[in-house]
Structure 1
Amino acid sequence: MTSETQPRPASGRRRTAGRAVAGAALADALLIMLFAAIGRDAHQRGEILTGVLLTAWPFLAGAALGWLAARVWRRPLSVRPSGLAVWIGAVAGGMVLRALTGQTVVIAFVVVASLSLGIFLVGYRLLLAGARRLGWTRSQR
């Protein structure tokens, strides 16, 4: 048996799973921050770092709720239910939190946020699923 065909010990699987969870959580957070940064840049608002955080926090909190509701840590890179739950949580939770804190919530922004966050949060999971289907795995690099 070669090292590629031997089963991984349980600790190795847990470590890989932990990395996937951490990687997905980090990717989600960074993509939400990117969404906020692009939006702020498009509207030429000052206060770069604090402004991006002010814009992003409701969506980050909503995404965290999506993570909890769907138990995303079980399959963090799956499109369904994980990617969809994070996306819906980010948009719905983000808009509710924005409204509760007096931030702007208009239909055009809801549409743009829904599309952008969908492309970001579901999109990278779709790309990874496609890569797995095509057989692009770590062992083949």
Structure 2
Amino acid sequence: MTTPRLPALALLTDAVLVTAFVLIGRASHSEGLLGTLVTLWPFLVALLGGWLMTRAWRAPLSIVWTGLGVWAATVVLGLVLRVANGQGVQLSFMIVTTIVLGVFLLGWRGVVLLIARARTRRAGLLAAAKRMSTAG
């Protein structure tokens, strides 16, 4: 994957996961598409705000700087936008939002980094084995 495509793919992944969070939450309520869009837009706007604030395109896979910043911004700004728009924000919703978006926005980055680390380690071991087999 080329470097310019990575930020776009990471932003798309974040947006899909924020949308999944809303769809999962809405599944427990019997509202249609309009209800889903009303719930979704504050979090998508907040996600974009988090990307801009953290300059996430520079290191989209970073958990510490990008992941934590995007997560915090998405939760806090999303909840603030909901309140400003007259939508309800109960403590239980705030807790679930914080936990689920944390698992989603940090989790996929962690999985990708673990896979990359395992591939790098494997490539190093294969190169070392090859050097050992040709050295003797």
Instruction: Tell me if both proteins adopt one fold, taking TM over 0.5 as the criterion.
Output: yes
| Cross-structure match for 1:70 | 54
Does the alignment pair 1:23 with 2:9?
yes
In structure 1, stretches of 5+ residues that fail to align are: 1-14
Scaled by the length of structure 2, what TM-score is found? Answer: 0.84
Q: In structure 1, which of residues 4, 29, 38 is the aligned counterpart of residue 24 of structure 2?
A: 38
Letter of the 2:42 counterpart: P
C-alpha deviation, 1:51, in angstroms: 2.6
**What do residues 49-92 of structure 1 show as CA deviations (whole Å, max 9, x unaligned)?**
x3322211111111111111110000011112111111111100
Matches of 2:94 and 2:111, distance apart in 1: 25
Give the alignment of 1:1-141 within 5 angstroms.
16-45=2-31, 47-48=32-33, 50-135=34-119
Of all paired residues, the percent bearing the same amino acid is 41
C-alpha deviation, 1:119, in angstroms: 0.5
Scaled by the length of structure 1, what TM-score is found? Answer: 0.81
Letter of the 2:29 counterpart: H
Q: Over aligned residue pairs, what C-alpha RMSD do you find?
A: 1.7
Matches of 2:97 and 2:9, distance apart in 1: 23
What count of residue pairs does the alignment treat as equivalent? Answer: 122
Matches of 1:51 and 1:114, distance apart in 2: 20
Secondary structure of residue in 1 paired with 2:86: coil
Letter of the 2:69 counterpart: A
Structure 1 or 2, whichever has the larger Rg, is 2
Matches of 1:129 and 1:99, distance apart in 2: 35
